[in-house]
A and B are shown apart, each in its own frame.
Chain A
């Protein structure tokens, strides 16, 4: 699956980079933006960020990463896949258990408002208050990441607390998307997504895949995809303040077939 990048998309991004005074060395039609190059690009545009109409998310999952930069996102960016998941399951209230420095609570709040359900913010480290929210706080849905979900699930089992009816489980692109056994065996629907870095979801699941709790994904519609045996490149399609151009994800993808929902299904490999 390697359609050529449409020229108009390439031109639009070239124009966007020109407006941001990105030096020409970072952009030609054969460019592949590795994460190291993206880091340089973000450093380059950093002085312009205060003037841009944008929010920023960190460019790295590692809070101590010396190369952590701010990645500009539109203040009106909507996390459509998450919103779709919440809407499809008729949920009552959402608890977010993501590290606050990911800066994802604002888009999650917007998704909740769009669906008409309240949000509850819980620090990943504060398991007792989060767990009790499933019993006393009217929460039935959890948005969390795979690194911290096992400890939370174990706590629910240990204290005989209710399990989430629905969860949105986020994986880091460079990690194997694993669903811990405690989650697989006791929780309701687990909709998995993969993030390129915080605030940038790239792979998602429909209700059918989520129901099965399998590590298979659909491609996000927010990007033009160039997939080969050795690389997975994404190019932003929308009106991002800083569009990604042929950004190389830290994974490869293999098409495994078609889903009942009509979209292609991919296996994620690292």
Chain B
């Protein structure tokens, strides 16, 4: 966690005259003002919150603080929410040292992280003899085959890639040799954790909280490996990161006490080589404070409850998008109000996705027939429907239920991982 002095420094650095205008414009810094200073926590909390929309308004090359030749990689948000992707720059960075307490990385790693070269870099930095095999999720059998040849004993995985990988590793009888698994990308359900633990009995399984928008991702590193302990995934801030929690409706800071919930704001330390330090960036996730002071790491810990406004869910083979569900419902002459729940079901031949769609159907409507029609139309990628996924063994058949039977939460979300 960053100190207040480091937070003051980041505001000063990012609002200096002569640098990119991004923060000066948003903070209303006057033309003759050299930089903005923050002298108290109240002033810090009063700084405007930066959102994804703010990032989208300015081409990333116009908000890049580092010299261009030092930029290592450009990343993009997935572009799956229906909005244009947000592109971000990052210089070579670190922040992966926490892994070394769980694994020695002397053997190969199979990685589905979008920027594997950065993980490769950190392994080299730590003078470990690790090697990388990059996972191609669409041609995963070839990647797993290479990982088998390379004698990989650890995995960095986007969570929804895991079931396919697991089955292929069982087929190649290499699941028992896996000693470490780091998952990311979305919250892990208890059933999926148990499935992983059963398939990979010798692996320490951890989870990280990261984002392609954030240069020093992951922002949240594991307080402990996943276990039967509740909650399943608990994080604390990575060393380059400061986290605030604000009320979802008012944007006001909420006190960090056990059980507090709110929207997470991310601030990333302004190192001299940072491409774009984020200050009070609303990542779009709701969190709950687990411990005010984690016994292991000192700082407060949190669990991610989910997207504040979730309009999409990643699934093997593509994305379930709210606007696509709306389109299909209109096509089958139903109101486009719905709630979609995605479950992971442990069936005899592995873990499968099941989608239950709660719709406003007439009492006499045949829900089974309706589900078949919707599955046939519902696209998860450009030329791939839910029905194709059922045919290919990725999903269980879609089920429809009437809206009145939908699970009730405190907030009405359209798409949920249940």
Q: Give chain A's interface residues, CB within 8 Å of chain B.
A: 46, 49-50, 53-56, 58, 63-64, 68-70, 75, 92-93, 99-101, 103, 105-106, 109, 113, 116-123, 125-126, 128-129, 132-133, 136-139
Contact indicator A133/B87 (Cβ below 8 Å): yes
Contact indicator B150/A56 (Cβ below 8 Å): yes
B164-200 near A? 1/0 per residue, CB < 8 Å: 0000000000000000000000000000000000000
Q: How far is the CB of B72 from chain A (nearest CB, A)?
A: 6
Contact indicator B73/A136 (Cβ below 8 Å): no
Q: How far is the CB of A66 from chain B (nearest CB, A)?
A: 10
Contact indicator A70/B146 (Cβ below 8 Å): yes
> Does any Cβ of A come within 8 Å of B356's Cβ?
no
Instruction: Please report the C-alpha to C-alpha distance between residue A3 and residue B70 in the assembled complex, in whole angstroms.
Output: 45
Instruction: Please report the C-alpha to C-alpha distance between residue A106 and residue B107 in the assembled complex, in whole angstroms.
Output: 17
Smallest CB-CB separation from B275: which chain A residue?
A118
The 5 lowest CB-CB distance pairs between A and B, nearest first, are: A50-B151, A63-B142, A63-B139, A100-B136, A116-B69
Contact indicator B59/A138 (Cβ below 8 Å): yes
B84's partner among A100, A119, A120, A132 (CB-CB below 8 A) is: A132
Contact indicator A101/B142 (Cβ below 8 Å): yes
Sample of 25 A–B contacts (CB below 8 Å): A50-B108, A53-B129, A63-B136, A63-B139, A63-B142, A69-B149, A70-B146, A75-B131, A99-B136, A99-B139, A100-B134, A100-B135, A103-B133, A106-B117, A106-B120, A106-B132, A113-B72, A116-B69, A118-B72, A118-B74, A121-B115, A129-B79, A133-B74, A138-B59, A139-B74
Max chain B Cβ within 10 angstroms of own Cβ: one of A101, A121, A122: A101
Known contacts A56-B133, A63-B139, A123-B138; is A105 also within 8 Å of B117 by CB?
yes
B104-141 near A? 1/0 per residue, CB < 8 Å: 00011000001111001000000001011111111101
Q: Which residues of A contact B44 (CB under 8 A)?
A: none
Instruction: Please report the C-alpha to C-alpha distance between residue A266 and residue B246 in the assembled complex, in whole angstroms.
Output: 65
Contacts A55-B132, A63-B136, A129-B79 aside, 19 further interface pairs with beta carbons under 8 A come to A50-B151, A58-B142, A69-B149, A99-B138, A100-B135, A101-B139, A105-B117, A106-B116, A116-B70, A117-B69, A117-B71, A118-B68, A118-B73, A119-B74, A119-B117, A120-B87, A123-B138, A126-B79, A129-B76
Q: Which residues of B contact A129 (CB under 8 A)?
A: 76, 78-79, 85
Instruction: Please report the C-alpha to C-alpha distance between residue A55 and residue B116 in the assembled complex, in whole angstroms.
Output: 14
Q: Which residues of A contact B141 (CB under 8 A)?
A: 63-64
Contact indicator A92/B135 (Cβ below 8 Å): no
> Does any Cβ of A come within 8 Å of B381's Cβ?
yes
B75-113, CB < 8 A from A: 75-76, 78-79, 84-85, 87, 89, 107-108
Max chain B Cβ within 10 angstroms of own Cβ: one of A105, A116, A137: A137
Q: How far is the CB of B40 from chain A (nearest CB, A)?
A: 37
Instruction: Please report the C-alpha to C-alpha distance between residue A123 and residue B120 in the assembled complex, in whole angstroms.
Output: 19
B73's partner among A49, A55, A116, A120 (CB-CB below 8 A) is: A120
Q: Which residues of A contact B68 (CB under 8 A)?
A: 92, 117-118
Q: Which residues of B contact A56 (CB under 8 A)?
A: 131, 133, 146, 149-150
Contact indicator B149/A120 (Cβ below 8 Å): no
> Does any Cβ of A come within 8 Å of B61's Cβ?
yes
Instruction: Please report the C-alpha to C-alpha distance between residue A133 and residue B142 in the assembled complex, in whole angstroms.
Output: 28
Contact indicator B133/A68 (Cβ below 8 Å): no
Contact indicator B107/A50 (Cβ below 8 Å): yes
Instruction: Please report the C-alpha to C-alpha distance between residue A154 and residue B251 in the assembled complex, in whole angstroms.
Output: 44
Q: Give chain B's interface residues, CB within 8 Å of chain A.
A: 59-61, 68-76, 78-79, 84-85, 87, 89, 107-108, 114-117, 120, 129, 131-139, 141-143, 145-146, 149-151, 381
Contact indicator A136/B59 (Cβ below 8 Å): yes
Known contacts A49-B149, A56-B150; is A125 also within 8 Å of B138 by CB?
yes
Instruction: Please report the C-alpha to C-alpha distance between residue A64 and residue B240 in the assembled complex, in whole angstroms.
Output: 42
B136's partner among A49, A101, A116 (CB-CB below 8 A) is: A101
Q: Which residues of B contact A132 (CB under 8 A)?
A: 79, 84-85
Contact indicator B76/A133 (Cβ below 8 Å): yes
Known contacts A50-B150, A101-B142, A103-B133; is A136 also within 8 Å of B74 by CB?
no
Q: Which residues of A contact B114 (CB under 8 A)?
A: 121
Q: Which residues of B contact A122 (CB under 8 A)?
A: 76
Contact indicator A101/B143 (Cβ below 8 Å): yes
Q: Which residues of A contact B60 (CB under 8 A)?
A: 136-138
Q: Which residues of B contact A46 (CB under 8 A)?
A: 149
Q: How far is the CB of A258 from chain B (nearest CB, A)?
A: 36
Q: How far is the CB of B185 from chain A (nearest CB, A)?
A: 15
Contact indicator A128/B79 (Cβ below 8 Å): yes
Q: How far is the CB of A114 from chain B (nearest CB, A)?
A: 11
A125's partner among B59, B74, B131, B381 (CB-CB below 8 A) is: B381
Instruction: Please report the C-alpha to C-alpha distance between residue A139 and residue B68 in the assembled complex, in whole angstroms.
Output: 12
Max chain B Cβ within 10 angstroms of own Cβ: one of A75, A118, A120, A132: A118
Q: Which residues of A contact B129 (CB under 8 A)?
A: 53
Instruction: Please report the C-alpha to C-alpha distance between residue A58 and residue B131 in the assembled complex, in whole angstroms.
Output: 15
Q: How far is the CB of A78 from chain B (nearest CB, A)?
A: 14
B71's partner among A103, A106, A118, A136 (CB-CB below 8 A) is: A118
Contact indicator B138/A68 (Cβ below 8 Å): no
Instruction: Please report the C-alpha to C-alpha distance between residue A109 and residue B74 in the assembled complex, in whole angstroms.
Output: 11
Known contacts A106-B116, A133-B74; is A58 also within 8 Å of B84 by CB?
no
Smallest CB-CB separation from B86: which chain A residue?
A136
Contact indicator B74/A138 (Cβ below 8 Å): yes
Q: Which residues of A contact B74 (CB under 8 A)?
A: 93, 118-120, 133, 137-139
Instruction: Please report the C-alpha to C-alpha distance between residue A101 and residue B141 in the assembled complex, in whole angstroms.
Output: 9
Contact indicator A70/B149 (Cβ below 8 Å): yes
Instruction: Please report the C-alpha to C-alpha distance between residue A106 and residue B73 in the assembled complex, in whole angstroms.
Output: 12
Q: Which residues of B contact A118 (CB under 8 A)?
A: 68, 71-74, 89
A105's partner among B61, B116, B137, B139 (CB-CB below 8 A) is: B116
Q: How far is the CB of A172 from chain B (nearest CB, A)?
A: 15
